[in-house]
Amino acid sequence: MVAPEVGAVPAKSPGSASRSARSRGRVNVPKRFLPVIATFVVFVATFGVGSVRYEGFASGQVMANLFIDNAFLIVLAVGMTFVILTGGIDLSVGSVVALSTMIAAAALQAGWPAWLVVITVLATGSGLGLAMGWVIHRFGVQPFIVTLAGMFLARGLCFVISVESVSIKDPTFRDLATGSIELPGGVTITYGVVIALVAVLAAVYVLHLTRFGRTVYAVGGSETSARLMGLATTRVKIGVYVISGFCSALGGLLFSLYMLSGYSLHAVGMELDAIAAVVVGGSLLSGGVGFVIGSVVGVLVLGTIQTLISFEGTLSSWWTKIVIGALLLAFIALQRIIVRRT
CA angle (327 as vertex; 318, 297 as ends), nearest 5:
100
Domain annotation covers residue 129: yes
Give the count of domains, the chain: 1
**Domain housing 219:** 33-50+57-341
Question: CA nearest 92: which of 44, 144, 31?
Answer: 144
% of the chain surpassing 70 pLDDT: 89
Question: CA nearest 262: which of 69, 98, 128, 116?
Answer: 98
Please, which contacts does 228-235 make with residues 24 or more away whose CB atoms are closer than 8 Å?
A: 234/137
Q: Give 315's DSSP letter.
A: S
How many CB atoms neighbour CB 221 within 10 A?
A: 17
Say how many CA atoms lie within 13 Å of 165 toward its Cβ.
9
Domain annotation covers residue 224: yes
pLDDT, one tens digit per residue, over 128-153 is 999 999 999 999 999 999 999 999 99
Say how many CA atoms lie within 13 Å of 61 toward its Cβ.
8
Domain annotation covers residue 267: yes
Interval 27-37 mean pLDDT = 77
Q: How confident is the model at residue 301 (pLDDT cuts 50, 70, 90)?
A: very high
Cα 244 to Cα 242: distance, rounded to the nearest angstrom? 5
pLDDT for residue 63: 94
Identify the helix (H) or strand (E) that includes residue 188: strand 187-190
Domain annotation covers residue 18: no
pLDDT, one tens digit per residue, over 182-229 is 999 889 999 999 999 999 999 999 999 999 999 999 999 999 999 999
pLDDT for residue 183: 92
Contact 121, 252 (CB under 8 A): yes
Contact 75, 201 (CB under 8 A): no
pTM for this entry: 0.90
Domain annotation covers residue 10: no
Domain annotation covers residue 213: yes
Domain annotation covers residue 91: yes
- Which residues, listed in sequence order, are joined to residue 261 by a DSSP beta bridge? 167
Task: State the amino acid at position 221 in one-letter form.
Answer: G
Could you tell me which residues come within 8 angstroms of residue 187 by beta carbon, excluding any fewer than 6 positions away? Answer: 60, 61, 63, 64
Interval 291-315 mean pLDDT = 89
Domain annotation covers residue 268: yes
Read off the CATH number of the domain in which 84 is found. Answer: 1.10.3470
pLDDT for residue 21: 46
How many CB atoms neighbour CB 260 within 10 A?
A: 16
pLDDT, one tens digit per residue, over 71-113 is 999 999 999 999 999 999 999 999 999 999 999 999 999 999 9
Contact 50, 311 (CB under 8 A): yes
